[in-house]
Amino acid sequence: MKRFVTILLLVFLYANSFGQYQQDSAFIKSLSDEILVNGKAYDWLHFLTKKIGHRLSGSNGFNKAVEWGKQTMLEAGSTNVYLQSCSIPVWVRGKEMLSIASINKKLINKKINALALGNSNGTGNKFVLGDLVAFKNFDEFYANLNKVKGKIVLFNYPFNQTFVETFNAYGDAGKYRRSAASIVAKNGGVAMLTRSLGGGEDNFAHTGTMVYNDSFPKIPAFALGLKDADDLYLKAATQNVKLSLQSGASFKPDTIGYNVIGELVGTQFPNEIITIGGHLDSWDVGEGAHDDGAGCVQTMEVLRSFTKLGYKPKRTIRFVLFANEENGLRGGNKYAEEAKSKGEKHVFALESDAGGFTPRGFGFTTSASTLQKIQQWLPLLTPYGTSYLKAGGGGADIGPLQKLLGTSLAGLQPDSQRYFDYHHTHNDVFENVNKRELHLGAVNMAALIYLVDKYGL
């Protein structure tokens, strides 16, 4: 009885109309059935990961992915597919190697699992030999600055496992990957190594973007597999460890990349634009399956399911595969800049860029009153795995829309436990994506977009 009263109350809050609630509930069920039974996202992801593979900005893989995105967007039902060009950086890894050269002067030549950080400078393919000095964190580093000059510096700051949401551990540890190289260089270090941003049980290295401070030498920077980082940290405490490293990383001249955009034109308010997307580029290792092939195919699955069910949106819905999220965000910036310069009205944007895992909820960047309105829809989404609609969230690619136009944002928040086992590694491959988890994410995205389209914000 109490439960019934609660439901009635929610329905009243929701729309003042039980009929409307039933109608929305039935349509969302039909979206779910269509996606869970006939969904193409998983097959599309198979093609993207296995036939194209990784696709860093400026690579052949990225160019092929743009063509694939265009074709798939048409297959999914967009009658209007176009490419939005933007200048993108071209960072190339080149040949690289990190190994233990000697321990206490005994030559050993043991290879370390490592990846040069994205946007880092190489050694001009030369070998750099140096003594290792290892710190747990910046505090240890600053307490021992006298030991840094001429050394290769390792930060072995661990992923904090006490955070239930692994993105919080990623945020906590991220400063080492992003900014430690220039801090080391400022103090005379010759190369920076960092424990990978992951919490798994394996030894895969996790690459990812870093930024130099232009005031200091741009020294090479690598991320290490967790086991190798722990091992080196222990060894360096008691032994003289000499490392040898080489990196062919460098920037080539910028080139042209593309956001791939599909569209369903609104029938009532064509000038009000809703954006849904993921990013098409990935790092240059693995297959970019979870990051962010998943978001791309989920985006097109929403389009496909709307088309298949004959849903004619009131507002214009743009389905966007963004360029260059990983090492520049040029695609997301271009999308927002062009929207602003054309005077477009962007009412809402949703991104999926946290992996193709089972959905748990959505996070929003919007006003308190808008969030309150959105939260009335929760009972319609809980049957599909969404257990919250909360403040805080969005996506890197849609962030500029919010900054430039004040657009309300949302991010799909799938379960985060496995994400940082795969993120930016050779192991972010199709085999680690589960079909039902991926498709269920698309179900929740489709439902939310449907409700925003129908009721506005």
Sites of contact with its own copies (CB under 8 A): 2, 32-33, 36-37, 42, 161-162, 164, 166, 199-201, 358, 360, 368, 372, 383-385, 387-388, 415, 417-418, 421, 434-437, 440
The minimum distance between CB 245 and its own copies, in angstroms, equals 31
The minimum distance between CB 438 and its own copies, in angstroms, equals 9
The minimum distance between CB 381 and its own copies, in angstroms, equals 11
The minimum distance between CB 187 and its own copies, in angstroms, equals 32
DSSP-H helix ranges across 259-343 = 294-308, 330-341
417, with CB counted inside 10 A (0-12, 13-18, 19+), is middle
Residue with tokens 């004619």, as numbered in its chain? 312
Closer residue to its own copies (CB): 149 or 436: 436
CA 154/CA 233 separation, integer angstroms: 8
| Alpha carbon 6 to its chain's center | 37
Q: Which DSSP string do the residues of 229-272 spell out, in sequence order?
A: HHHHHHHHHHS-EEEEEEE--EEEEEEEEEEEEEEE--SSEEEE
The minimum distance between CB 370 and its own copies, in angstroms, equals 13
Picking from 252, 442, 450, the residue whose alpha carbon sits closest to that of residue 359 is 442
Evaluate whether 54 touches 288 at the Cβ level (below 8 Å): yes
Evaluate whether 129 touches 101 at the Cβ level (below 8 Å): yes
Closer residue to its own copies (CB): 22 or 372: 372
Beta-carbon neighbour count of residue 125 at 10 Å? 13
Closer residue to its own copies (CB): 169 or 245: 169
Picking from 172, 174, 228, 179, the residue whose alpha carbon sits closest to that of residue 205 is 228
Closer residue to its own copies (CB): 37 or 237: 37
CA 368/CA 381 separation, integer angstroms: 20
Closer residue to its own copies (CB): 32 or 247: 32
Closer residue to its own copies (CB): 179 or 434: 434
Closer residue to its own copies (CB): 64 or 136: 136
Closer residue to its own copies (CB): 315 or 418: 418
Closer residue to its own copies (CB): 308 or 435: 435
The minimum distance between CB 393 and its own copies, in angstroms, equals 15
Closer residue to its own copies (CB): 1 or 107: 1
User: Residue 52 gets which letter from DSSP?
Assistant: I
Picking from 147, 152, 172, 150, the residue whose alpha carbon sits closest to that of residue 162 is 172
Evaluate whether 133 touches 153 at the Cβ level (below 8 Å): yes
The minimum distance between CB 83 and its own copies, in angstroms, equals 32
CA 177/CA 140 separation, integer angstroms: 17
The minimum distance between CB 1 and its own copies, in angstroms, equals 8
CA–CA distances in Å: residue 146 to residues 74, 78, 136, 243: 61, 61, 16, 19
The minimum distance between CB 285 and its own copies, in angstroms, equals 21
Picking from 393, 287, 294, 321, the residue whose alpha carbon sits closest to that of residue 69 is 321
Q: Which DSSP string do the residues of 101-161 spell out, in sequence order?
A: EEETTEEEEEE--EEEPBT----TT--EEEEEEEESSHHHHHTTGGGTTT-EEEE-PPP-T
Closer residue to its own copies (CB): 108 or 391: 391
The minimum distance between CB 162 and its own copies, in angstroms, equals 5
The minimum distance between CB 360 and its own copies, in angstroms, equals 8
Picking from 162, 243, 251, the residue whose alpha carbon sits closest to that of residue 212 is 251
